[in-house]
């Protein structure tokens, strides 16, 4: 899938790294996924880095200021028709607004929230920015999993907020569908004790074992895998050198 410019409401449309060292992140992810980057000034002391492959955006990075107390992490954005209305709905459904709706220049209107189980995710109302330029190709976003203290409660929340439907067949794993498209999932009871609820993005790769070995050689730590999921693919989870967790995914070849 090479063009995601028409992502409909309810779909993931952006992936953003909050890190303590953008320069190091550029080096790591550039070497791991082949990402190039453009730096966009946001102010006199602030830079927003957009990663891309062949001119098509894959993700972004932003450097958290010292003393903010926010650990490095990846943040997923979901397209909505109206960020203000969706943010109000978040609160009505038991979620918590972390950052109220705001415009990012003339490009997009966003808000960040926690679902009722504590996982952070963001709303994105496109204005002049349509989001990811590529998905599901090696080096680009392919999937997301919600690791939650209460997957069933979270699934009900997202269904009411975004109109997602759920699908379960043959295992406890909950698939989230946006219309007819499978976009994410959650495995009940999969969260280790003491680990907060969180969303995990997956980046497609051609060879999970080779990508994992390369990530480790670049300073990453292996969190999980590699592991095969029959009929789906092979995947692994890593922590980048600054401490942000992300997963890699090699799809089963048809």
Using the Cα atoms of residue 14, residue 16, residue 22 and residue 26 in order, give the sign of their dihedral.
Answer: negative
Same domain, 17 and 102: yes
Determine the Cα–Cα distance for residues 106 and 92; give it in Å rounded to an integer: 28
Average pLDDT of the residues in 99-125: 95
Contacts of 15 (CB under 8 A, 6+ apart): 58, 59, 60, 74, 75, 76, 77, 132, 141, 201
User: Is 134 within a domain?
Assistant: no
Same domain, 122 and 145: no
Determine the Cα–Cα distance for residues 250 and 143; give it in Å rounded to an integer: 11
User: Is 5 within a domain?
Assistant: no
Confidence band, pLDDT 50/70/90 cuts, at residue 1? very low
Determine the Cα–Cα distance for residues 125 and 209; give it in Å rounded to an integer: 37
Res 69: pLDDT: 67
Average pLDDT of the residues in 163-175: 90
End-to-end CA distance of the chain: 15
Res 254: pLDDT: 61
Average pLDDT of the residues in 150-177: 93
What are the pLDDT digits (tens) for 70-94?
Answer: 799 999 999 999 999 999 999 999 9
User: What is the overall mean pLDDT for the chain?
Assistant: 92
Q: Are the CB atoms for 49 and 39 separated by under 8 Å?
A: yes
Q: CATH no. for residue 177? A: 3.10.180.10
Residue 178: name the closest of 190, 162, 157, 189 by CA.
162
User: Is 131 within a domain?
Assistant: no
What are the pLDDT digits (tens) for 216-248?
Answer: 999 999 999 899 988 889 999 999 999 999 999
User: Is 133 within a domain?
Assistant: no
Tally of domains within the chain: 2
User: Is 222 within a domain?
Assistant: yes
Domain enclosing residue 160, as ranges:
141-251
Res 209: pLDDT: 97
């Amino acid at each position: 899938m090479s063009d995601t410019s028409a992502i409909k409401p309810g779909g993931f449309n952006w992936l953003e790294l909050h890190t303590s060292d953008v320069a190091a992140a550029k080096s790591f992810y550039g070497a791991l996924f082949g990402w190039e980057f453009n730096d966009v000034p946001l102010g006199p002391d602030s830079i927003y880095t957009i990663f891309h492959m062949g001119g098509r955006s894959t993700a972004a990075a932003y450097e958290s200021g010292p003393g903010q107390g926010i650990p490095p992490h990846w943040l997923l954005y979901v397209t909505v028709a109206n960020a203000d209305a969706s943010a109000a709905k978040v609160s009505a459904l038991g979620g918590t607004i972390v950052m109220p709706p705001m415009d990012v220049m003339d490009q997009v209107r966003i808000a960040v929230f926690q679902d009722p189980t504590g996982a952070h995710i963001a709303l994105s109302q496109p204005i002049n920015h349509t989001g990811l330029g590529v998905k599901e190709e090696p080096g680009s976003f392919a999937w997301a999993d919600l690791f939650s203290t209460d997957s069933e409660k979270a699934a009900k929340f997202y269904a009411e907020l975004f109109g997602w439907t759920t699908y379960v067949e043959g295992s406890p794993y909950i698939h989230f569908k946006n219309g007819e498209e499978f976009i994410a999932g959650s495995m009940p009871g999969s969260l280790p004790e003491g680990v907060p609820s969180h969303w995990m993005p997956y980046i497609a790769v051609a060879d999970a074992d080779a990508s994992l070995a390369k990530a480790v050689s670049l300073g990453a730590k292996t969190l999980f895998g590699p592991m095969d999921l029959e009929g789906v693919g092979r995947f692994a989870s890593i922590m980048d050198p600054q401490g942000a967790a992300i997963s890699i995914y090699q799809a089963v070849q048809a």
